[in-house]
Amino acid sequence: MRVDWADLARRLAALCDGEDDAIALMATLACEIHHADERFDWTGFYRVVAPELLKIGPYQGGHGCLTIPFERGVCGKAAREGRTVIVDDVAAFPGHIACAASTRSEIVVPFRAGDGTLLGVLDIDSDRPAAFTREDAVALEKILEEAFANVSMT
């Protein structure tokens, strides 16, 4: 099954409507996104918990590493640079953090509070090589922007 991004976006907008609790939003998004597409073998959030430091949040799939500094991994790169990172072959990515030996490709999307504060990243792993596209990136960026619009860090 391959995700219908427009349909998923509509469902998530309805589920998350008016919600301003970041953990509740992450739990809902991880669940719905994970089960929307058979390419997605691990779907989860890493939260900014201190300057230049990510810590795991709600996720679906096998256990994920608990802490990632901004200077490490695909998640750290996406957080550091503030942009979506698509890795077609994780074995060719210097410093990739392998939470599962089966992972072949990955997409990591930063997400922000309504005031633009970086809240963390959404990480999706696939056991398939080159599983992710720019279409996936654009759709995920829009879903995350809308979902966390009501979250405030003050």
Query: Which residues contribute to the site for ligand SME (CB under 6 A)?
Result: 42, 64-65, 68, 73-76, 96-97, 99, 106, 123, 125
Cβ closer to ligand SME: 13 or 91? 91
> Rounded to the nearest 5 degrees, what angle is found at the Cα of 112, between the Cα atoms of 43 and 132?
35
**Minimum separation from the CB atom of position 99 to ligand SME (A):** 3
**Minimum separation from the CB atom of position 108 to ligand SME (A):** 7
> Rounded to the nearest 5 degrees, what angle is found at the Cα of 125, between the Cα atoms of 28 and 118?
60
Cβ closer to ligand SME: 12 or 99? 99
Cβ closer to ligand SME: 14 or 101? 101
Nearest residue to ligand SME, using CB? 73
- How many Å apart are CA 25 and CA 84, to the nearest integer? 19
- How many Å apart are CA 95 and CA 103, to the nearest integer? 14
Determine what percent of the chain falls in helix, strand and coil, rounding each to the nearest 5.
Answer: 35, 25, 40
**Minimum separation from the CB atom of position 16 to ligand SME (A):** 23
